[in-house]
């Protein structure tokens, strides 16, 4: 069974892509009423353009049982070679954390999940125990309020350098990466912080949300987030792709155009730095 990292690398190379499309259905914005139908059309239109898909569970849970059914149908529609990230940012302790890990990996079958590590290593250990699955630690979020807590300067209890809290999260995640299955979530709206985090974690995959509706810089965040080979970054776009068009007859084509533009813009950046895809 391939690991998440192996799946990610293979999909990225196959599609020449660092683009991750977030499957976040919003009934107020969807041009068709059926969530599963909407997602299937998006997937069919973009599956040769992405390195991963990322359903955010909040959008499905908000729809109740029908949302769970739509998520199940959505997962079935994604080609098996494309890794799927369950964006849930679960964070708890003890048997609850174990139950969350079981639900995300064994029940839903996600290849990777996002987690909130505020509770420390033991709160994410149940996820890390799935060695072939990916665990993306929420490190520096893309929202304006992120600075309130994530930028707090923290000094270790036993002494040492003082750093912003988000840097300690990255350093801790690197220590937990004993099985090579840990990555980070860092918002595109803070490219300077992303560059620091990449320096702290040079080889770990980084999910980079916020390049679309949240107006993060695509060029700055992509260049700050890639590793030295120009890989290991998943630049995530949701609304900018899903709702690129609102005509029921043409929205898949509009989504494809938006996804193509994002992927190709990133590929030009890579080529300018001699980091393009093998031919």
The residues that are catalytic are: 89
Nearest by Cα to 84 from 122, 37, 51, 117: 51
**Strand 85-90's sheet: what is its strand order?**
52-55, 19-23, 233-237, 206-208, 182-186, 134-140, 112-115, 85-90
- Percent of residues in the chain assigned helix, strand, coil, to nearest 5: 45, 15, 40
Helices then strands (H, E): number in the chain?
12, 10
Reference 18, options 51, 53, 49; nearest CA is 51
Kind of pairing between the strands at 19-23 and 153-154:
unpaired
- Residue 121 to residue 127: CA distance in whole angstroms: 10
Return d(Cα 205, Cα 182) in angstroms, integer: 8
Residues 6+ apart with CB under 8 A from 162: 153, 154, 155
One DSSP character per residue, 19-71 reads EEEEE---TTT-SSS-HHHHHHHHHHHHTTT-SEEEEBHHHHHTTTHHHHHHH
How far apart are alpha carbons 105 and 28 in whole angstroms?
A: 30
DSSP run (H or E) holding 89: strand 85-90
CA angle 61, 86, 112 (to 5 degrees): 160
């Amino acid at each position: 069974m391939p690991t998440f990292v192996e799946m990610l690398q293979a999909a990225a190379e196959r599609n020449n892509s660092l683009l991750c499309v977030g499957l976040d259905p919003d009934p107020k914005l969807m041009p068709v009423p059926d969530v599963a139908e909407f997602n299937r059309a998006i997937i069919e239109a973009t599956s040769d353009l992405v390195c991963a898909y990322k359903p955010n569970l909040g959008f499905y849970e908000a729809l109740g049982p029908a949302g769970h059914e739509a998520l199940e149908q959505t997962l079935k529609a994604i080609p098996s070679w494309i890794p799927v990230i369950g964006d849930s940012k679960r964070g708890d302790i003890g048997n609850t954390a174990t139950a969350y890990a079981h639900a995300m990996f064994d029940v839903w079958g996600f290849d990777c999940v996002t987690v909130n590590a505020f509770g420390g290593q033991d709160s994410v250990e149940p996820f890390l125990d799935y060695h072939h699955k990916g665990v993306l630690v929420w490190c520096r979020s893309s929202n304006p309020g992120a600075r309130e807590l994530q930028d707090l300067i923290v000094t270790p209890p036993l002494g040492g350098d003082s750093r912003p809290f988000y840097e300690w999260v990255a350093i801790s995640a690197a220590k937990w990466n004993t099985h090579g299955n840990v990555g980070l979530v860092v918002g595109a709206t803070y490219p300077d912080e992303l560059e620091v985090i990449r320096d702290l974690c040079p080889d770990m995959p980084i999910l980079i949300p916020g390049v679309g509706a949240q107006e993060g810089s695509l060029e700055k965040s992509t260049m700050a987030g890639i590793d030295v080979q120009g890989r290991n970054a998943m630049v995530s776009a949701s609304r900018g792709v899903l709702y690129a068009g609102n005509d029921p007859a043409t929205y898949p084509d509009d989504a494809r155009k938006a996804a193509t533009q994002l992927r190709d813009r990133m590929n030009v950046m890579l080529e300018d730095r001699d980091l393009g895809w093998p031919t």
